Amino acid sequence: MKENNKTYWKGIEQLTNDPEFVKNADREFPEFTSSSNGEEGPSRRDFLKLMGFSLAAASLAACEAPVRKAIPYVNKPVDISPSIPNYYASTFASGGDYASVVVKTREGRPIKVDGNELSPINGKGVSAIVEASVLSLYDKQRLAGPFINGEKSDWSSIDAEVKSKLAAAGTVKIVTNTILSPSTEKALAKFSESFGGAEVITYDPVSSYGITKASETVYGSAVLPTYRFDRAKVIVSFGADFLGTWISPIEFAKQYAKGRKITKEKPEMSRHYQFESNLSLTGSNADYRTPIKASASGLAVLALYNALAKKAGAITFNAAAVDVSNLDKAANELWANRGASLVVSGSNDPNVQVIVNAINDLLNNNGVTVDFSTPSYFRKGDDAKMNQFVTDLNAGRVGGVVFYNCNPVYDFVRGAEVASGIEKAKVSVATNGTMDETASLVQFVAPDHHYLESWNDFNPRKGEFSLAQPTISPLFDTRQAQESFLVWAGEETNYYDFLQENWRASLFAAQSETSDFQEFWDRSLFNGVYSLESTSSALTANGDASAAAAAVARTYKADNAGTELVVYTKIGIGNGTFANNPWLQEMSDPISKATWDNYLTVSQKWANENGLKMFEGATQKAKVTIGDKSIVVPVLVQPGQAIGTVGLALGYGRTKAGRVANGVGINAYELLSVNNGFVNFDVIEGVTVELTSDKYKIAQTQTHQTYMGRNFVVQESILPEYKENAFAGRYQPKIYKEGEFVKPSKISLWKGHQYSQHHWGLAIDMNSCIGCGACTVACQVENNVAVVGKQEVLNRREMAWIRIDRYYSSDAEVGDNDGLEIAAENPEVVFQPMMCQHCNNAPCETVCPVAATTHSSEGLNQMTYNRCIGTRYCANNCPYKVRRFNWFKYHDNKSFAAVNVAQNDDMGKMVLNPDVTVRARGVIEKCSMCVQRIQSGKLTAKKEGRKIQDGEINTACATACPTDAIVFGDMNDPNSKITATLKIQEETLSATKEVNEERAYHVLEEINVNPNVWYFTKIRNKDKSEA
């Protein structure tokens, strides 16, 4: 076995072995002099006062128990039974971000959103944003009714005024983000018709205009293609973060993971090259990642084209030579895998996308891995039109403007001009659900329902349809925007009937399975999705790419000396629409592990040159100036950041999003501009960054736990090694006993548990885990995990039950700053989901003085909150650092009301899972392996008098995972998926199961705590010589 000689590090602090870091690393609960509110500690007098009060309170409380009411329905709905959840198929869509979902409701309240297994697009997987979207339903920031000029009004007066004023306004324009709904488009068309053909202007905050424009140039229709990452053996991406934020990440992650799953029987996986400036989630999963400057990205694409064209004998284009490592290697492998490879680019420059199309054409990928004849509709934004609209608006050429659920004042690059232009229009209307940056400036706000209150249909891709249905009656006096449009257009019909009629006329008419429309409708609604068989013929490219190539050669530079700003989106906050959601704000970024902030990511080299030393989130601010615009942001040293570039995330700096998001971070949209007709997210000229002396603290979770120098927490290898030996990369500790070396599990002080019925376990494939963090939010929703806010995260008191540990690794020796630079230049990244390991020899159980944490007869490590007295011995004794302590009462506490919305205000509380206790102050909590789901699944089986079927019980994390990296099941069941995955052959009741899968390992196997969570080694598809 080849031993792993890499150095793994969680952050720069650990890499440099900073003495302060080492000191803190020893402590599970570091002490801080500053408390959250800066008050002094309680005095003896306070203690006596409290004592007296509590005695009095206790004796008073003992006299009479409070009277509690039990209030039944007057007329119980047939399909709602208290305590029984109902599930409804629906669809999440925000602009072009799409997921077909199943909504869990309890007593008529939506409490959880999961993926819809029947969906051909996203399947059962979701993203963090989709998971968290259920909380936005209960956001108090939502408008409670229509507003006219900032005054609360009613629907009849707003209808009358909007109708008459719009009719007299002259040119009417409708501004919207991408609309995926055919019926909405139809309703808008009716509206537009009745106001003299009002033009619909579509833009997307994070635009893919480059791709649609290039598609129009090359194939004649402005659409996105359908990508098939699962069919590609070689994937090359130029800055496209397709696993994290690019276009349809859930779908792409699902496809990508299919190509990355390996077994001993099928040791094949796709190879992934990434050329990018910021270290993205996708880049951190790549086999070969090359940091490149944004200014050279177009040339790199062109160089790849030229290399392939040479092999194909096609014409090559003149361009400045760029030195990009791995590019030739990528070209060779792409060529060898013609028809089974895929090249994508995240650039919004249509010229670059034309070259990308030409590359895929050269490689015969068109119609296989990238399919323009089956268009996707996730992004329909037209940057040029929107740009023109802003100009028109400011010139007073727009009489009436209607904003359909979009917020261009905040999220369009010329937002300030939109803001100043709105008052120049005679009539301005918005259907936004909150008084956001745009809605607060218009005359009429006709708030739309939340998506969980709405009827709608969606057509995300040619031939694929889905429906959205209300899962709760409208909470406020809102009205579905489509209905508003129909009313203003003078239509009598409500949107539900309109929608049904639309389906009757189009989809029902096109099918022949049933002649009963009601049956067709009910089935489609039940499934949530409907697919229409359609034929399509491959498209051929028109003309050549020479014009585009010339433009690329002109715009991009091989030797740009200046600093370049690359603007990106984060997994949690995205384009900023859902910024007011505390679950997303506190979700730590998969790469930087930072919460509650955006920041300027800089390279270690830049930090060294500017004398910045970052330590555990303590950093300085920098002033970024582009032309006449400048901002001041904190700086974060990001390993893997391309030298000469800095990165900044969109979605922050909201001013009117609500209590949670206002004032968090800096708005990066303002720094961008529209150049050559498209929104440019890479600013390659005129950027200056100066470090200021302002100190700042970024709340990162990354350095809070360390594995104390045990380097075998992460076990990894490369594909050629794995093919030779399936144990490649495995650390197999042996312990000396009576003359021989044996596995640690053979030596134990304990007799060992026997599990007569179930033995629950998790198998986590680190090859499939892309680190997207959907599981962390899913866990938070399912288990009522508290949000603690930025200060408490800084105090290392975040409550997450499942975290994703991100380790950087590099071969370099780190002796000095130069060494540090090399190590941090382009590290490899590993993601490891970490939750309670449910040890069979659990160290926490033996140290609890009150037996509050015990072992169950099904292998679970149980945490009993009502017994816990808060000694925290268990957390100190946990080798995995997964036990979290409630330092405060986070529920019903004014100090946390602004961040912990789900446990503090009466609206937010509606999202709580009624089957899980909200924990009190002073107790430890941790992953329960979703014991409430296990109990409920067992009860269902018992009621039906049968055995549990594998798969009917699943944990929240495993359900949410878009890549199926987490498998949950009963290891006592010989037919379960987990038994097959782990290759458990012998049927035994013993807690110690003989696992025959070569890749499966326990973290810290040598201490023989014998967890019920197994990890699978990460295998990178790298060539041997370079490993």
Which residues are near another protein by CB under 8 A?
62, 65, 67-76, 81-84, 756-757, 852, 854, 856-858, 860, 862-867, 915-918, 928, 931-932, 935, 938-939, 941-943, 945-948, 989
CB-count burial class (<10 Å; 0-12, 13-18, 19+) for 503: buried
Q: Give least dist CB 342 to another protein, A.
A: 45
CA distance 228 to 237: 13
Report the residue number, 67 or 749, with the smaller CB distance to another protein.
Answer: 67
The angle, 0 to 180 degrees and rounded to 10, between the axes of the packed helices 495-503 and 517-527 is 110
Least distance in Å: CB of 938 to another protein?
8
- Return the closest-CA partner of residue 860 out of 784, 931, 940, 756: 931
- CA–CA gap between residue 536 and residue 300 (Å, rounded): 33
Using the Cα atoms of residue 138, residue 141, residue 144 and residue 146 in order, give the sign of their dihedral.
negative
Nearer to another protein, 676 or 757 (CB): 757
**At closest approach, how far in Å is the CB of 1013 from another protein?**
17
CB atoms within 10 A of CB 870: 15
Q: Give min distance, CB of 73 to another protein, in A.
A: 4
Closest approach of another protein to the CB of residue 903, in Å: 13
Least CB distance from residue 29 to another protein, whole Å? Answer: 24
How many CB atoms lie under 10 A from the CB of residue 461?
23
- For residues 547 and 939, which CB has a smaller minimum distance to another protein in the complex? 939
Q: Which residues of 545-582 are buried (b: 16+ CB within 10 A; e: fewer)?
A: beebbebbbebbbbebeebbbbbbbbbbbbbbbbbbbb
Smallest distance, Å, CB 504 to another protein? 32
> Cβ distance 95 to 505 under 8 Å?
no
Closest approach of another protein to the CB of residue 947, in Å: 6
Q: What sign does the CA torsion over 707, 713, 719, 720 have?
A: positive
For the bound state, the minimum distance from the C-beta of residue 758 to another protein, rounded and expressed in Å, comes to 10
CA–CA separation, 317 and 547 (whole Å): 10
Minimum distance, C-beta of residue 801 to another protein, in the bound complex (Å): 12
CA-derived radius of gyration, the chain: 29
Q: Quote the least distance from Cβ 70 to another protein, whole Å.
A: 4
Q: Which stretches does DSSP call E strand in 544-612?
A: 563-568, 594-595, 600-602
Alpha helices per DSSP H over 481-531: 481-488, 495-503, 509-510, 517-527
Nearer to another protein, 105 or 856 (CB): 856
Identity of the residue, 44 or 946, whose beta carbon is nearer to another protein in the bound complex: 946
Least CB distance from residue 978 to another protein, whole Å? 18
316/932 with CB nearer another protein: 932
- Tell me the C-alpha distance between 380 and 694, whole Å: 42
Between 692 and 935, whose beta carbon lies closer to another protein?
935
Nearest Cα residue to 1022 out of 273, 241, 242: 273
Beta bridge partners of 733: none
The residue (of 828 and 915) whose beta carbon lies closer to another protein is: 915
What is the CA angle 174-98-279, rounded to 5?
105
| Distance separating alpha carbons of residues 261 and 763, to the nearest angstrom | 13
Compute the distance between CA of residue 132 and CA of residue 34 in angstroms, rounded to an integer: 32
Nearer to another protein, 809 or 856 (CB): 856
Q: Residue 863 or 1019: which CB sits closer to another protein? A: 863
Between 41 and 66, name the residue whose CB sits nearer to another protein: 66
Report, in Å, the least distance between residue 936 CB and another protein.
9
Instruction: Report helix, strand or coil for 826.
Output: coil
Dihedrals φ, ψ of 820, to 5°?
A: -60, -40
CA gap 543, 538 in Å, rounded: 16
The least distance separating another protein from the CB of residue 102, rounded to whole angstroms, comes to 19
Side chain identity at residue 228, one-letter code: R
Cα–Cα distance, 873 to 849 (Å, whole number): 8
As given in the structure block, the two tokens for residue 695 are 């100190």
Nearest to 94, CA basis, from 633, 576, 626:
576
Of residues 751 and 946, the one with the C-beta less far from another protein: 946
What tokens appear for 914 in the block? 């009624």
Whichever of 857 and 996 has its CB closer to another protein, that residue is 857
> From CA 482, how far away is CA 454, in angstroms rounded?
10
Q: Which is nearer to another protein, 156 or 935 (CB)?
A: 935
Closest alpha carbon to 176 in 438, 405, 412, 480: 405
Provide, rounded to whole angstroms, the least separation between the CB of residue 943 and another protein. Answer: 5
Residue where the block lists tokens 């028809």: 339
CA terminus-to-terminus distance, the chain: 15
CB of 948: closest distance to another protein in angstroms? 7
Q: 631: helix, coil or strand?
A: strand
Residue type, 186: K
HSE, CB side, 13 Å, CA atoms: give it for residue 10: 28
At residue 646, the 3 state secondary structure works out as: strand
Q: Where are the alpha helices (DSSP H) in 324-448?
A: 327-336, 350-362, 383-394, 408-411, 415-422
Rounded distance between C-alpha atoms, residue 196 and residue 192, angstroms:
7
Kindly tell me which of 45 and 946 has the beta carbon lying closer to another protein. Answer: 946
Nearer to another protein, 426 or 891 (CB): 891
Q: Which CB, 420 or 936, lies closer to another protein? A: 936
Q: Which is nearer to another protein, 746 or 947 (CB)?
A: 947
Closest to 456 (Cα-Cα) out of 179, 665, 214: 179
